[in-house]
Structure 1
Amino acid sequence: MKICIATVKSPFIRGGAEILVENLKYHLLQAGHKVEDISIPFAAHPPQSLTDMIRACQLLSIDKNMVDVVISTKFPAYCINHPVKRLWILHQHRQAYDLWNTRFSSLKGHPEGADTKRFIFESDNQAFREAQRIYTISKNVSKRLQRNNGVFAPHLYPPPNSTGSISGEYGDYIFYPSRINPTKRQFLALQAALKANTRVKLLLAGAWEDATSRAFFERYIEDHGMKGQVSFLGYVSERKKNYLYENCLGVLFIPYDEDYGYVTVEAFHRGKPVITCADSGGPLEFVENGVNGIIARPDPLELAQAMDWLYMDRGVAKKMGSAALEKIISMDITWNKVLCALTE
């Protein structure tokens, strides 16, 4: 088949959404399909830019004589027109939905915020009515979709970049790989490290989204004498990231209401336990408290205690890590399942 993947892209930002599209395209090509991907430039501010992008996508039509199927992954790319449009939704525009009443939404306080929210809701519902099939990337996203729009959509978990079931040493550090963003709560991780009673180290890897937050974090680390304990590594290669996974004591992943989160799945494939929070969303579909990881309240002291526990008892860390690997293997998250759902 001739397949077009429609998504959106913010300049110079690379995260799970970009990895998913790259992997989807690769596996579709491997399966013998002809594939093109189309990325719509995305900007969330000001609100007028959101409505402009929606209208632009609604005016776009992909020729049915040139393309058999369109697979759309993100707002507002799923508003593009095609008679055989299948959605694999990473998330909607969360600031208009589940983040509306949180500190993470700049839309609510804007004079045009309420009108923009209504327009997003209406255009989403129209796109969902037009779609031939709708899937999401997790149970969490499916629940949001049903709650917000009354749409039932099965979930298809995306397989991670690499599934090498390799575990190295259980070192002296906790690893937190994720782009530096307020919803990922790296500052909470720093606060937790500050309260640790052991010599456990915290290594954070991920691209900075702005220079201001980088300066703030660096100043916080210096002011609290944490230079030998906490390290921000910035963006790291896949090879380096895999090494850090394989030799860490455990993985910290404490976002606010994450859609899915490759981090949990990648950590489990390396036989490493994951520390997450009770409000972290997607990771809770995998982490079982005390079995293959630790679920704590989003509280620095509780997270510090979880980090200290793994540091003081490597036997517990190894036992949880083994359970994590068993869990992820038993779930059988494969590209074959994804491609069957999206293309057959």
Structure 2
Amino acid sequence: RLNGRRSKNRMENICICAVQSPFVYGGAEILIETLRSELARRNFRTEVINIPFKSHPILDVKKGCLLWRLIDLTNFNDLKIDLVIATKFPSYLVKHPNKVTWLFHQYRQAYELAGTEYSALREDNGQENREESSFRESLWQIDRKALLESKQIYTISKNVSNRLKKYNQIDSVPLYPPPKNQEKFYRGEFGNYVLSVGRLDPIKRVELLVEAMRYVVPEVRGIIVGRGPEKDTLTEMAQRYESGHRITFRDFVSDQELFDLYANALCVYFAPFDEDFGFITIESFL
């Protein structure tokens, strides 16, 4: 339910605040597309404000925070913006008198990923330096201030809500997003392949599947669908383990191919580190 009353004479104007990594398309982008589509279907005039964001080094993270904080979304060319919906870090730093946050995730390197191999806030020895530690502590305060400006705070999962409560002492309500095209998923036969779907990032831990394929029976194959910086590493690993001939890497598949792959998989592999929500889990059960 949206805050504020809609005008009887015109459509309510809503801006969705999004963060984009160029050439990256995943769960967050699907969520934004679906949200915009659903709002438009309900006759709201909706625009997505999409700003590129670099997650490291720290100076660029600070620039991204400042950029969102300085944006004025109250009106454009005398067009009043009635509502802004913030999503993931740092979009919720935007100022607006009627801001609602649907939190995808915060800057995870400063929270639950701090001190892990998945955090950019560490040196080669795995330890934070003084600047990184200071930035992390400051960011907790910045997030708390900006998020509490929201009229309502929702998250995409109970896991995200738990983090928000643990680190920022902020209560929120999980609002689970439905999978895209959920009506098109179907059940087929159990095939002879293990399916992995998603971006090939270290935090997704797809290397565990590649390694595990060394130990499965020869009849079982692996199909890995996705792009990302780990693609070459995973391919080389498969060749080194002499299981490359049983693992197929697919950069892209059509929607219908993806439905078919899910429907006929022996099982679906999904083992990221402390995932926010995970469309893959939901899709694999449809």
Distance, in Å, in 1 between the alignment partners of 2:236 and 2:112 is: 32
Q: Is 1:12 matched up with 2:23? A: yes
TM-superposition CA deviations, 1:172-208 (whole Å, max 9, x none)? 1111101101110010111111122452211110112
1:102 to 110, 116, 124: 116
1:146 to 165, 172, 179: 165
Q: What is the letter of the counterpart of residue 90 of structure 1?
A: F
1:242 to 250, 254, 259: 259
Q: Is 1:137 matched up with 2:156? A: yes
> Could you tell me whether the CA contact under 8 Å between 1:162 and 1:266 is conserved in 2?
no
Q: Is 1:172 matched up with 2:192? A: yes
> Could you tell me whether the CA contact under 8 Å between 2:197 and 2:280 is conserved in 1?
yes
Tell me the equivalent position of 1:42.
Answer: 53
Distance, in Å, in 2 between the alignment partners of 1:88 and 1:119 is: 22
TM-superposition CA deviations, 1:196-225 (whole Å, max 9, x none)? 2452211110112x3xx3332222222222
Tell me the equivalent position of 2:280.
Answer: 263
Q: What is the letter of the counterpart of residue 39 of structure 1?
A: N
The answer for unaligned runs of 5 or more in structure 1 is: 270-344
TM-superposition CA deviations, 1:289-324 (whole Å, max 9, x none)? xxxxxxxxxxxxxxxxxxxxxxxxxxxxxxxxxxxx
User: How does the TM-score come out when normalised to structure 1?
Assistant: 0.75
> Could you tell me whether the CA contact under 8 Å between 2:211 and 2:241 is conserved in 1?
no
- Deviation, 1:228, is 2.9
Tell me the equivalent position of 1:28.
Answer: 39
1:158 to 171, 177, 190: 177
Distance, in Å, in 2 between the alignment partners of 1:59 and 1:216 is: 40
> Could you tell me whether the CA contact under 8 Å between 1:51 and 1:119 is conserved in 2?
no
TM-superposition CA deviations, 1:137-187 (whole Å, max 9, x none)? 000000000000001101011100111341122111111101101110010
- Deviation, 1:63, is 1.4
Spell out structure 1 runs of 4+ moving beyond 4 A. Answer: none
> Could you tell me whether the CA contact under 8 Å between 2:211 and 2:238 is conserved in 1?
no
> Could you tell me whether the CA contact under 8 Å between 1:136 and 1:155 is conserved in 2?
yes
> Could you tell me whether the CA contact under 8 Å between 1:71 and 1:85 is conserved in 2?
yes
- Which secondary structure does the structure 2 equivalent of 1:6 belong to? strand
Q: Is 1:218 matched up with 2:242? A: no
Q: What is the letter of the counterpart of residue 207 of structure 1?
A: R
- Deviation, 1:237, is 2.3
Aligned length: 266
Tell me the equivalent position of 1:58.
Answer: 69
Distance, in Å, in 1 between the alignment partners of 2:217 and 2:189 is: 22
More helix by share: 1
Distance, in Å, in 1 between the alignment partners of 2:53 and 2:239 is: 35
- Deviation, 1:68, is 0.9
Q: What is the letter of the counterpart of residue 13 of structure 2?
A: K
- Which secondary structure does the structure 1 equivalent of 2:161 belong to? helix
- Which secondary structure does the structure 2 equivalent of 1:260 belong to? coil
TM-superposition CA deviations, 1:71-118 (whole Å, max 9, x none)? 010111100111010000010000000000211002133643112212
Tell me the equivalent position of 2:4.
Answer: none
- Deviation, 1:243, is 1.4
Q: What's the C-alpha RMSD, in Å, of the aligned pairs?
A: 1.4
Q: Is 1:203 matched up with 2:243? A: no
Tell me the equivalent position of 2:94.
Answer: 80
Distance, in Å, in 2 between the alignment partners of 1:153 and 1:257 is: 19
User: How does the TM-score come out when normalised to structure 2?
Assistant: 0.89
Distance, in Å, in 1 between the alignment partners of 2:218 and 2:167 is: 44
Tell me the equivalent position of 2:201.
Answer: 181
Distance, in Å, in 2 between the alignment partners of 1:3 and 1:25 is: 9
The answer for unaligned runs of 5 or more in structure 2 is: 1-11
TM-superposition CA deviations, 1:230-265 (whole Å, max 9, x none)? 111112222221111111112111111000000011
Range that drifts further, 26-35 or 52-61: 52-61
> Could you tell me whether the CA contact under 8 Å between 1:85 and 1:131 is conserved in 2?
yes
Q: What is the letter of the counterpart of residue 30 of structure 1?
A: R
TM-superposition CA deviations, 1:47-71 (whole Å, max 9, x none)? 0111111112111121156111100
Tell me the equivalent position of 1:335.
Answer: none
- Which secondary structure does the structure 2 equivalent of 1:39 belong to? strand
Q: What is the letter of the counterpart of residue 121 of structure 1?
A: W
Distance, in Å, in 2 between the alignment partners of 1:45 and 1:100 is: 14
